[in-house]
Every structure is written in C-alpha cells, then in structure tokens.
Amino acid sequence: MGNEGTYPYLLLLWLLPLAGAIVNWAFGPQLKRAAGPLGSAFVGVSFIATVLMWGAATQGVPGGAIGAHQSLFSWIPGFDFGLLMDPLSLLWTLIITGVGFLIHVYSIGYMDGDKAFARFFAYLNFFVFAMLTLVLSDNFVGLLVGWGLVGLASYFLIGFWFFKPSAVAAARKAFVINVAGDVGIMFAIFMIFASVHSIAYGDAFAFTSYPSGWLFAICLCLFIGAAAKSAQIPLHTWLPDAMEGPTPVSALIHAATMVTAGVYLVARCAPLWSHDANAQLLVGTIGALTALVGAILGCGQWDIKRILAYSTMSQIGYMIMGVGVGAYEGGVAHFFTHAFFKAQLFLGSGIIIHALNNEQDVRRMGGLRAKLPFAFWAMLTGVVAISGIPFLGAGFFSKDLIIQGALEHGHPIMYAVGIVTAGITAYYMCRMLFITFLGNYRGNVDPSELGIRHPELAGTPAHEEDDAHESHGRAPAWLMNVPVAILMVPTVLIGWLMFGGENSPWAHFFAQTFPHETMAAPAPVSEMFTAVIVFVCVIIGIAVAWMRYGAAPAAENAVERLRVESVRMPAVLTNAFYFDAALDWIFVRASQLLGTLFGRFLDPQVIDGAVRETVFSAQWLGTLVRSFQTGLMRTYAFLIAIGATIFMIYYALAAGGVK
C-alpha cells in the first residue's frame, strides 16, 4: 500500500515536534518565555511540511490517490517498521499539526506565567510527535508505540500540576485505563502475528485465512484499545477526570486528537471489520450507547469542562458508531468537524476560565455575555456546530452522514439513538451556553446558595491557583483570541466539504480508502428526511434548554433554580451511572485484596515459614546429637560398647552367613 520511497517531508513533519520537545525539555530553564513561541514554531513548520507532503504523496500515484510509504528499520524478522501516508493518516496529520499549532499558540497566552512554562510546551510537542507516530505508522506495533506514547503525553499533561493530588490521581487513572487498552491491542497483535507472521497493515489486511473466530477476536481486542483511548463505555471514566489538566490540553488531546485515535484505529482496520459483521455490530452498539450515555451525563454536569468532556465522549460515540457500522466516511468526517468545533468550545471555555481565575463551575458564572463578548461568540458558533443546526455549522453534515449511514447499513436502532442523542446534545450544550452567558453574574454569590456542596470537586480550588499561575494577563489577549477566531472559520464552513453525497470532495478524497460493501437494501428513508427529523429533535432540545435556563423568568431567579436543580440532581447522574464505583470494586479493590493476602500473609507466613522450619529442624537434630555428649566418660564408654556390640552382631551373623 502506498508507493515505496524516501520522503524527507514525511520524516521532517514526523520528527520536528520531537525535536521541539527535546529542546524545550533540555533547555527549558534557559528558554524561559521563548519556549512557547519556539514550541509552536516547531509544530507550525510541521504543519507546513504536512501540506508539502500532501503534494509529494500525490506525485506519481495512479489516479492521484494519496499513498506514500517509507520503511525505517526492523527489530527482528517480521517486526519491520515504516511510515505510511495515505488519505486517512493525512487527514489526521493535518488536524494534529494544524489544530495543534493553533492550540500551541493559544497556550502561549493561556499558560503564560506558569512555573513550568517550557515543560508544558515540551509535553505538548511530545504529544504531537507521539500522535503523529500513531497515525503515520505502517504497522500495528508502531501504532501501539504511538498509542502508548500519546497515553504518556496525556498522563503528563493531565498531571501537569502534579502538586494537586486530584490531578495526580486523574493522571494515573487515565494512564492505567489506557494501558489496559494497549494490552488489548497487544493481544490483537499476537493473533495477527501468529497467523500472518507480520505486523504490517498491508499483510494483515491482505491476509484472508484467519482461523475461525480469530477475526472477531482480533477486532474485539483492537476495539478494547480503541474504547480505552476514545473513552467508550465502560472504559470512559478517565475522560471527565482528565479535565484536571490545563484547558489547552483538554482541547488538543481530550477533544481534537488523541481521543479520536480509536476512530482512527477502527477506520484504519476497516478491512478487518468489514469482514466480520459481529464486530461491526459490537462496535456500533458500543458507540451508540456511549453517545447516548455521554449526552445524558452531559445534562447533569456543572463543571464547564466536564460538560464538554461528556459531550466529547458522546460525539466520539457517534464517530465510533459510524465507523463501526461501516459508514467510515461519516465517522471520519465527524472526527474532522468535531476536531474544529470541540477545540473551539474548549478554547472558548478556556478564555472564560482564564478570565474568571480558574472558576469552572457554570453556576458561579452567568451574564458573561457582556463581560466576554468574544468568548460568547466563539462558544455560540461552537454550540451551533455541535448541535447540528442545518447548514449553520459543520456538525450538521458529518452527524447526518453517520445517522444516515447507520440506517443504510441496516441498524435502525442506532439510527434512532443517533437522532435522540442529537436532541439531547442540543439541550445540554445550550444549557451550558445559557447558564454561562445569560442572566446575571453569580460569581459573588455564596456557593452554598447555589447548592455547591463540595467546591473542591469542581475545577481548581481557589487556594492552589497561586501555585499554578503567579500572574495573569501578562500575555496579550489576542494570543488566545486569534486561534479561536481562526477556528471559527472551519467550524462554520468545513462541513460543506461533505455536502453532495457520492461526488462530494470528501467522498472523492476517500474514494480508494475504505471498503465499500454493497448495501443489503437501499435506505428506507432519504437523507433529507433524516435531516428534518434530526432538526426537529434539535429544535426541541434547544427550546427546552431555553425555557429552563434562557428565558426571562428563568434568568430572573436563576440562583434559586440552580440550587434546587443541584440538590434535586438524581444520584445516578451525579455518580455518572456508577461506572467509577463498579470499576473500582471489580478491579482495583480486588487486586489490592489479593496483593494484601499474598504480601502480608502468604509470603511471610506460609512460604517463608516452611523454609524457617527446615532450618530449625537441622538445629534440633544438632541438639539431639549433642545430647549424647553428656561429658561423662562412662556414657562414652557405653556408646563404644553398644557400637562394638552391634559390630559383633553383624560380624557374627556375617560369619555364619559365609559358612
């Protein structure tokens, strides 16, 4: 796949962020504030290199399809490594470097004045490198390497403020769950290697004679990885906690790029999935479920970043559903649009949080429209896009593709779920928007009146804010606004790429990428119809949100209403359907119990005790022998006599024997 060759641009765009990371890590203290621009520059150049690479990849490929492959080195026979640039990886690379660059620039402003300014950019660059490794690798092990490295980067960035116990815990949780995912991919690799004797995508996909059941097993294991990385049920619990990290991190890693790696993986392995209906069904179902659950949970959150986190989870659920059921273009398209608008939403919320000194609880906001008009418009466009209001935002097009695709591939239930979820999405996004920007500012209201029971659970506790940021606002505001402004453009417009069905530029771009299985039956309803239904649901959602939070009466006594809602919030929502508790009991507590049993009892008492006993028994034997040593001569004489007697008996008998 792809034509072999040496592509300097490829290596350049791949390794530049690494160089940036190393430079920032090694010379951080010397660089001081220059670290930010430097780090951004590395990624920016990498983006340019990507664009150039795009051109280079199209050269000399029949049909202008993109495909470039460069082999690097090999560990042992069968474990050969290389880089692959095809439409899929190109798309991801563009997002990673492009959106990544913008977020870098944003971070210069956002992280300005932080003690570990340079370290932050080192991590950020390192993440970009890791993500590029993930998407550019031409084999599963390379993918796994990238997979693990992005996990590490996210670990570092979530726990960036490592003096916060909550951040540390969140980071560890995220990492461990992701390692569980890695393990899944590892096992898939075992099965692939055992049957194909190679780890390259090409061989694995070209190979047809997998043992019966293995294909499903492989897909399942791969999807475990995907689910862990993309926060799919039930491995999603790390994502909301991951919001402990700085907001740009959430924007880049936990919205735009890393969490969509699962989508990439499934899309990349489309040939495998398209051969196994069960796997498709599984993935699609999980995706749909995640979308729904994420959306529902999104309705019950007060922390602005957690709301966005659950929405991310839900949106990725969409994507997974799309690629799962076989609507690969749709899923990938939603990743594409989502990258823009979700990044924008996060960055917008970042502006708010930044302005309110790390206040993240929407209940203590309100009426910010006047204070932060730019943020308002940024959020507004984002919400419009994510809610999928026809033709006004990118989200509409991609989401529509997925929902329609689900139906086309014969999954009506997922279809329904998709539509309902779209409505809920509109509801909770608008809820966030209205609570935040309409009404009056509630930041000066006493938390208890707002029903905030545990302020420390929401956002950064006030007392640690000094550790994080010595001073705000030294960096010019445009540093944060410009990237958001730039992002607005694709947020609004990019969806048109997907307009036009078969002959849209999007479909053309992916013409040779994905397998096209023939539909069992043409979709019962037309795409237009779907769009209408979705639109209706969305409108309902928005209306409800407006009535509850936006309308004048609601805005009047917002404090009281919010308090009531907080207090009345069903436990199921506040505890996020008890996923956390379940995982904790099933895995964490269980293994700790076993560990205690082994370490505190079995080791010292049983095993070691046995050995000690043998040693003591030797000593006991010693005392036995020495007990003959009474010191009395006559005892010794007696011993001799006994011995002699025994000798005599033996020899007398022996003599009798020989006679």
Partner 1 sequence: MTVNVTNADWSAVAPLAIVAVTALVVLLADLLSPKNVNRYAAIVIALLGLLVAGFVDYGQFRTGGDYAAFGGAFILGGFSTVFESIILLAAIGSVALMGAIGRDDRFAGTIALLLWSTSGAMLMAGAGNLMTVFLGLELLSLALYCLCGMAERPAARESALKYLILSSMASAFLVYGMGLLFGASGSVALADLTNPALASSPIFWVGAGMFLVGIAFKLSLVPFHAWAPDVYEGAPLPVTAFMSVATKAATLAVLARVIYAALPAGIGDKLLLPIWIVAAISMIAGNVGMLAQHDLKRLIAYSGIAQVGYILAALAGGTPMGLRYAIYYLAAYTFMNLGAFAVAAMISGDREEGTRLANYRGMSRRHPVAAAMMTFFLLAMAGLPPTAGFLGKILILSASVNAGYAWLGIVLIVGTAISLYAYAKVIRAMYQRDEHAHVSEAHVSVPLAWASAVVCFVFVIAMTFYPHTPSNILPLVK
Partner 2 sequence: MDPMSVPVADYVGLSAVIFFIGVAGVIVRRNPLIMLMSIELMFNAANLLFIAFSRAWLHNAGHIFAFLIITVAAAEAAIGLAIVVTVFRTARHVDVDDVALMKG
Partner 3 sequence: MIAFWILAVIMLGSAIWCISSSKPVYSVVALLLHFAALAAMYLTLHAEFLAVIQLIVYSGAILILFLFVIALLSSGVAPFSAGPNKLPRIGIPAVALLLVALGFLTYAVNHAAATVASATTSTTSQLGAVGQAGVFGSVADFGKALFTTYLLPFEVTALVLMVAVIGVILLAGDATPYVASRKQAAEVRREMREAIVRGGE
The yes or no reply on residue 652 touching partner 3 (CB under 8 A) is yes
H helical segments located in 444-557: 465-468, 478-493, 505-509, 527-545, 552-556
Q: Which is nearer to partner 1, 473 or 622 (CB)?
A: 622
Q: How many CA atoms lie within 13 A of 22 on its CB side?
A: 4
Binding mask 568-607 for partner 2 (x = CB under 8 A): ----------------------------------------
The yes or no reply on residue 632 touching partner 2 (CB under 8 A) is yes
C-alpha 614/C-alpha 607 separation (Å) is 12
Q: Which two tokens stand for residue 93?
A: 């690379």
The yes or no reply on residue 572 touching partner 3 (CB under 8 A) is no
Q: Which is nearer to partner 1, 162 or 616 (CB)?
A: 616
CB of 643 to partner 1, least distance (A): 4
Interface with partner 2 (CB under 8 A), residue from 72, 413, 489, 637: 637
Residues 567-626 within binding reach of partner 1 (CB under 8 A): 615, 618-619, 621-626
Q: Give me the sheet containing 68-74, strands edge to edge.
A: 3-4, 68-74, 80-85
Interface with partner 3 (CB under 8 A), residue from 49, 96, 648, 657: 648
CB of 632 to partner 1, least distance (A): 9
Find which of partner 2, partner 3, partner 1, none residue 6 binds, CB within 5 to 8 Å per kind: none
Find which of partner 1, partner 2, partner 3, none residue 658 binds, CB within 5 to 8 Å per kind: partner 1
The yes or no reply on residue 639 touching partner 3 (CB under 8 A) is no
The yes or no reply on residue 653 touching partner 2 (CB under 8 A) is no
CA 274 to each of CA 113, 219, 415, 484: distance values in angstroms, whole numbers, following the listed order: 50, 10, 19, 38
The yes or no reply on residue 630 touching partner 3 (CB under 8 A) is yes
CA 44 to each of CA 39, 162, 399, 494: distance values in angstroms, whole numbers, following the listed order: 9, 28, 30, 21
The yes or no reply on residue 629 touching partner 3 (CB under 8 A) is no
The yes or no reply on residue 641 touching partner 2 (CB under 8 A) is yes
CB of 640 to partner 2, least distance (A): 9
Residue count, binding to partner 1 (CB under 8 A): 33
Residue 424 CB neighbours (<10 A):
23
CB of 22 to partner 1, least distance (A): 48
Of 319-327, 329-337, 525-533, 628-636, the window that binds partner 2 (rule: CB under 8 A) is 628-636
C-alpha 457/C-alpha 252 separation (Å) is 23
CB of 641 to partner 3, least distance (A): 6
Give the containing element (helix H, strand E) for 648.
helix 633-658
CA 268 to each of CA 88, 306, 328, 519, 635: distance values in angstroms, whole numbers, following the listed order: 7, 29, 10, 21, 90
H helical segments located in 64-164: 87-110, 117-136, 140-158
CB of 172 to partner 2, least distance (A): 60
358 Cβ partners below 8 Å, 6+ apart? 459, 460, 462, 465, 468, 469
Give the containing element (helix H, strand E) for 221.
helix 214-229
**Cis omega (within 30 of 0) for bond into 447:** no
Q: Which is nearer to partner 3, 373 or 622 (CB)?
A: 622
Q: Which is nearer to partner 2, 521 or 632 (CB)?
A: 632
C-alpha 497/C-alpha 103 separation (Å) is 23
The yes or no reply on residue 643 touching partner 1 (CB under 8 A) is yes
Q: How far is CA 466 from the centre of its chain?
A: 29
Residue count, binding to partner 3 (CB under 8 A): 17
Positions in the binding site for partner 1 (CB under 8 A): 615, 618-619, 621-626, 628-629, 631, 633, 635-637, 639-640, 642-644, 646-648, 650-652, 654-659
Positions in the binding site for partner 3 (CB under 8 A): 630, 632, 634-635, 638, 641-642, 644-645, 648-649, 651-653, 655-656, 659
